[in-house]
Amino acid sequence: MNLMHLKIDKSWSLFLDRDGVINERLPDDYIKSWDQFHFVEGSLEAIKIFTGVFGRIVVVSNQQGVGKGLMTETELALIHKEMHSAVNQAGGKIDKVYHSPFLASENHHSRKPSVGMGLMAKRDFNDIIFRKSVMVGDSFSDILFGKRLGMKTVFIGRPHKAREFPKLFDFVYPDLITFAASIEII
């Protein structure tokens, strides 16, 4: 299954989750420093491909490790600065990284599946049109975030999860590079 019928071009925006999509997720833990951050195989190449297709690429990431006091905003900013640098070196770009440092129990409007980070991105980049956007994530909260904003959704993970909720996901791919390879440039 590919996205060719969507006619993706530079008028489209891409929203990416971070942990489990761009970088390896740490089971039952948080990425608290750059040395713990490891790109998922193929994700740098995928972002390079996306850079040639999408007009905007933003990252939206729940980071409650900050809210739990396990890392500071400064430490998180350093991780994102290094991530940007690595993406740029690989020939890709990320326009901006948005994060929500709040605990899940706080139900803050910026925390996915709430749409606050999407609205912040729209405020910063008025060329973002949600119906011409794709949200890529590996959790139900990522997909609900995209659906609530009227985006197309791509679930990164095992197909059996998608079969549990067939109407929730528009597309399912095992990883970011497989999704990127499926896009045909028009």
pLDDT of 113: 97
Its pTM stands at: 0.94
Tens of pLDDT, residue by residue over 55-76, are 999 999 999 999 999 999 999 9
Q: Which of 9, 17, 124, 142 is catalytic?
A: 17
95 classed as catalytic:
no
Which conformational region is residue 139 in: left (phi greater than 0), alpha (psi within -120 to 50 degrees), or beta?
beta
In the predicted model, what is the mean pLDDT of residues 166-183?
Answer: 89
In total, how many domains does the chain have? 1
Kindly report, residue by residue over 12-55, the tens digit of the pLDDT: 999 999 999 999 999 889 999 999 999 999 999 999 999 999 99
Question: Is 127 part of the annotated catalytic residue set?
Answer: no
- Assess if residue 125 is contained within a domain: yes
Q: How far apart are CA 34 and CA 140, in angstroms?
A: 26
Does 122 reside within a domain? yes
What angle, 0 to 180 degrees and rounded to 10, lies between the N-to-C axes of helices 73-89 and 43-51? Answer: 70
Q: Specify if 25 maps to a domain.
A: yes
The answer to whether position 83 is within a domain reads yes
- Write down the pLDDT at residue 185: 58
Backbone angles phi, psi at 97, to 5 degrees: -110, 125
Residue 141 lies in a domain: no
- Looking at residue 168, its pLDDT comes to 80
Q: Is residue 160 part of a domain?
A: yes
Question: Which of 19, 138, 142, 175 does the annotation list as catalytic?
Answer: 19
| Contact present, 109 and 139 (Cβ < 8 Å) | no
Identify whether 60 is part of a domain.
yes
In a domain? residue 112:
yes
142 pLDDT tier (thresholds 50, 70, 90): very high
- Structural domain boundaries, residue 160: 4-136+146-182
Q: What is the CATH number of the domain that holds 101?
A: 3.40.50.1000
Q: With a cut of 50, say whether residue 2 has pLDDT above it.
A: no
Q: Answer yes or no: is pLDDT of 186 > 70.
A: no
